[in-house]
Structure 1
Amino acid sequence: LFEGKLYIQTGKVKEVSKQLHKNPKAEICAFKDGEWLRVSGKLIEDDRREARASMLDAYPDLRGMYNEDDGNTEVFYFKNTTATFSSFTEPPKTIKF
């Protein structure tokens, strides 16, 4: 999170970057211990240095491949987002932000 928004990071040279610029609708899914999370929304690019630095500071292992000033690192935040928490034992819970 940066400034209250959910961010992702990638590199401009990657295919995913090109895809997101053409179609910014995205989903992220995660599964752990019989529960899963699905986050969907529109990704908005944030070209500010402080946004890139915040992401890399939160995940310092990425600094071996990325730098906020390298011209390759880019970050996006989710807008009009829906997060759905699901499990096999309880009804889904949905949050919009």
Structure 2
Amino acid sequence: MREVYEFLKQCGTYYLATQEGDQPRVRPFGTVNIFENKLYIQTGKVKDVYRQLKTNPKIEICAVLDGSKWIRVAAVAVEDDRLEAKQDLLDAYPSLQGMYKADDDNTIVFYLKDATATFSSFTEAPRVITF
């Protein structure tokens, strides 16, 4: 899990895929954090992605590093509405604190459960880890 976290942090931006009805939805994300030995992402409850995750918590993340290495992470996103989890993530991203507060009615974090991460590149065989 730590390796997945480090890879996503290096990329800066990753792409999160959800599903809305029979239509896949993909958007850029940038938040990733480790809290209580779980990998977390963050969004706002007012966003479509939140409603999509509530309906179907299965996600996939994809990110590319240096144009030659990439990761795909399939997981179940589990909502964690605890103030401590939200504050820890916001502390890791001070620039978000102008838009989000741990105790507002909008900020929400999810941890990844039953995750399978596949590291790939043009020069090496894929490597899979689970957490």
Q: Give, as a single letter, the amino acid of the residue that structure 1 aligns with 2:119.
A: F
Aligned to 2:96: 62
1:51 aligns with 2:85: yes
CA distance in 2, matches of 1:9, 1:72: 11
Aligned to 1:26: 59
CA distance in 2, matches of 1:60, 1:3: 20
Q: How many residue pairs get matched?
A: 97
Q: Report how far residue 19 of structure 1 moved.
A: 0.2
Q: Give, as a single letter, the amino acid of the residue that structure 2 aligns with 1:38.
A: R
1:41-74 deviation per Cα after TM superposition (whole angstroms, max 9, x unaligned)? 1010011100000110011111111000111000
Q: Give, as a single letter, the amino acid of the residue that structure 1 aligns with 2:101.
A: N
Aligned to 2:8: none
Aligned-partner SS, 1:69: coil
CA distance in 2, matches of 1:59, 1:7: 13
RMSD: 0.6
By relative contact order (CA 8 Å, sep 6+), the higher-ranking structure is 1
Unaligned runs of 5+ in 1: none
1:13 aligns with 2:84: no
Unaligned runs of 5+ in 2: 1-33
Q: Report how far residue 35 of structure 1 moved.
A: 0.1
Aligned to 1:35: 69
CA distance in 1, matches of 2:44, 2:37: 22
Aligned-partner SS, 1:66: coil
Instruction: List 4+ stretches of structure 1 deviating above 6 A.
Output: none
Calculate percent identity across the aligned residue pairs. Answer: 63
TM alignment of 1:72-83, pairs within 5 A: 72-83=106-117
